[in-house]
């Protein structure tokens, strides 16, 4: 019975922050939406496809990390200033590489991922074609 509080404490341990966090308030547009709904929608769509760099499995739209908030601020400010979402993505990719973007892209390294399903479909079609042709004979 004595072990139960200890077990609960052990279970909660991973929830404690690994590194201390700052005490500064979030950037102005980290949690504030843009006034123009169309611009906010464009910003939201972009933020959902940008990786949070401190919690790398989340998008910056999902993450409460201060750095993700700062990045949302950058995205919203740039959208409000009339910048195209893809230009903002390119600005980040230029600094952090493709890793910062969740949007799939066909390039030198990733083309087999897109080519392989097509090849498999073609192979299946060829096999089906031969079998059906044999059956009708």
Residue 57 found at the interface with other proteins (CB under 8 A): no
Q: How far is the CB of 44 from other proteins (least distance, A)?
A: 19
Smaller CB distance to other proteins: residue 8 or 54?
54
User: Residues 19, 22, 27, CA angle at the centre, nearest 5°?
Assistant: 130
Smaller CB distance to other proteins: residue 42 or 74?
74
DSSP 8-state secondary structure symbol assigned to residue 103: S
Single residue of 39, 40, 58, 67 touching other proteins by CB under 8 A: 67
**Per residue, what are the HEC states of 11-72?**
HHHHHCCCCCCCCCCCCCCCCCCCCCHHHHHHHHHHHCCEECCCCCCCECCCCCCHHHHHHH
Smaller CB distance to other proteins: residue 66 or 85?
66
Which residues of the chain form contacts with other proteins (CB under 8 A)?
A: 19-24, 27, 53-54, 56, 66-67, 70-71, 73-74, 92-97, 99-100
């Amino acid at each position: 019975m004595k072990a139960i509080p200890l077990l609960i404490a052990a279970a909660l341990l991973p929830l404690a922050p690994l590194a201390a966090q700052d005490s500064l308030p979030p950037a102005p547009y980290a949690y504030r939406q843009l006034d123009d709904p169309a611009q906010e929608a464009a910003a939201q769509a972009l933020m959902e496809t940008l990786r949070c760099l401190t919690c790398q499995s989340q998008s910056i739209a999902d993450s409460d990390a201060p750095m993700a908030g700062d990045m949302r601020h950058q995205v919203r400010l740039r959208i409000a200033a009339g910048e195209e979402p893809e230009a903002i993505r390119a600005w980040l990719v230029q600094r952090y590489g493709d890793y910062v973007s969740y949007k799939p892209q066909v390039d030198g390294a990733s083309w087999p991922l897109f080519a392989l399903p097509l090849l498999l479909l073609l192979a299946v079609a060829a096999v089906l074609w031969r079998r059906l042709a044999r059956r009708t004979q």
